[in-house]
Amino acid sequence: MRKDFASLTVGNDEVRDTIYSDDEFSTYANKVEAAFENWKAQVDKKLRTINKSTKPKHLIAEIAEVIIEEFETVTLVDKHDAYEVLLSYWNSVMSDDVYMLVEEGYKAIRDTENIKKTREKKKKDGTKEIINSVIGWEGKLVPKALVILMFFSAEKKIIDDAEVFVATAQIELDEIIENVTEDDDEDEIEEDIKERKKNIAEKNKLLKGLKAELDDKVRKQYDKLTEKECLELLIERKWYAAIISGIYALYEKVNYHIADYVAELTERYELTLPELESKTAELESKVKSHLKTMGYVW
């Protein structure tokens, strides 16, 4: 290796893992988190004291200015990209939430609403009737998925495990049906299939009951939410979680590009110039030898 030149100490296939496990890499992740936590510390009070006198347009301008300031020194995550994450979430979700808080107060966090489906039904006389039916419900400000995660994670795990069991049983049944051959005992296979279908139907019925029971518990939980729980669900688990997720996505994207670039450089400069010249001369000699054999002279 020539002076002032470097070479990789790991294989090409280990470049990404080496970068991601590096101490400096982890330290930089902490800088991103620290910038976000500093932003939270400065805007948290504003977000917890929204009232009828709050001007949503002024609020977003204030908290956006702070996020730009906090990410000023975070070199790998551009401050304007962090701002765009916040602004995008504001436009798609957060602004509606804030306007609702201005109008109704934080008590709106405890509200739920039915999800309706509208369809047209053609009557015998040729006219059409509009039919509205309830197909579910959701939290007005806080998604029920967050309430489940906060209060009913154990029940949700039981349901998830049951769903995996049913899905696996269905796959096994489909494989048995698909792989039946003429050599198989028809009566035995038919009985096995019948029994498996019965078990799956029973588990599905049980699963449906568990889901309905959990759904009922969750909806009743909204009325029981304390003020502290309301704020945690909306501000911490909904707003902050979505924003930091978007910022980490920026960070991961930059790191992915860095790893890609290093891998590209590794492939491009894997051989030194003398090695490339030697390889070129070797190939040139082989080509000339083939041409000579074919009768070409120069």
243-257 tens-digit pLDDT = 999 999 998 887 776
The answer to whether residues 87 and 57 belong to one domain is: yes
Residue 161 lies in a domain: yes
- What pTM, to 2 d.p., does this model score? 0.77
Q: Rounded to 5 degrees, what are φ and ψ at 55? A: -105, 105
Claim to verify: residue 93 and residue 239 sit in the same structural domain:
yes
Last residue of some domain: 165, 191, 225? 225
* pLDDT band per the 50, 70, 90 thresholds, residue 275: low
Considering only CA atoms, give the Rg of the chain. Answer: 31
DSSP 3-state of 131: strand
Q: Same domain for 154 and 190? A: yes
Q: Residue-wise over 167-182: b if at least 16 C-beta within 10 A, else e?
A: eebeeebeeeeeeeee
What are the DSSP calls for 13-61, one per residue? GGHHHHHHT-HHHHHHHHHHHHHHHHHHHHHHHHHHS--TT--HHHHHH
Which structural domain, as residue segments, surrounds residue 88?
Answer: 12-110+234-268
Task: Please report whether residue 294 resides in a domain.
Answer: no
265 has pLDDT over 70 = no
pLDDT at 291 over 60: no
Residue 137 lies in a domain: no
Evaluate whether residue 41 is within a structural domain. Answer: yes
No. of helices (H) and no. of strands (E), the chain? 11, 2
92/157 same-domain check: no
Q: What is the pLDDT of residue 181?
A: 78
Judge if 75 and 212 occupy the same domain: no
Asked if residue 91 and residue 16 are part of one domain, the reply reads yes
Q: Last residue of some domain: 194, 225, 256?
A: 225
Mean pLDDT of 59-68: 98
Residue-level pLDDT at 186: 79
Pair (154, 79) in one structural domain: no
Q: Grade residue 6 by pLDDT with cuts at 50, 70 and 90.
A: low
The string of pLDDT tens digits covering residues 70-116 is: 999 988 889 999 999 999 999 999 999 999 999 999 999 999 999 98
79 in Cβ contact with 38 (< 8 Å): no
Digit-coded pLDDT (tens) for 186-236:
788 888 899 999 999 999 999 999 999 999 999 999 999 999 999 999 999
Predicted confidence (pLDDT) at residue 237 exceeds the cutoff of 90:
yes
Q: At CB < 8 A and 24+ separation, what contacts does 25-34 make?
A: 25/255, 28/76, 29/251, 31/74, 32/74, 32/77, 32/247, 32/248, 32/251, 33/244
**Cβ-count burial of 85 within 10 angstroms (0-12 exposed, 13-18 middle, 19+ buried)?**
buried
In the predicted model, is pLDDT for residue 5 greater than 90?
A: no
Is the model's pLDDT at 284 over the cut of 70?
no
If asked whether residues 156 and 246 sit together in one domain, one would say no
pLDDT of residue 233: 98
Tally of structural domains, the chain: 2
In terms of domains, do 255 and 216 share one? Answer: no
Task: Give φ, ψ of 271 to 5 degrees.
Answer: -105, 140
Q: For residue 207, which of 169, 263, 243, 179 has the smallest C-alpha distance? A: 169
Between 122 and 270, where is the model more confident?
A: 122
**Residue 40 counted as domain residue:** yes
Q: How confident is the model at residue 27 (pLDDT cuts 50, 70, 90)?
A: confident
256 shares a domain with 170: no
What is the identity of the amino acid at 248?
Answer: Y
At residue 264, the pLDDT reads 67
pLDDT average, residue stretch 45-53: 97
Answer whether residue 293 is part of any domain: no
Do residues 100 and 163 share a domain? no
Residue 211 lies in a domain: yes
183 domain residue, yes or no: yes
Band of pLDDT at residue 68, cut at 50, 70 and 90 = very high
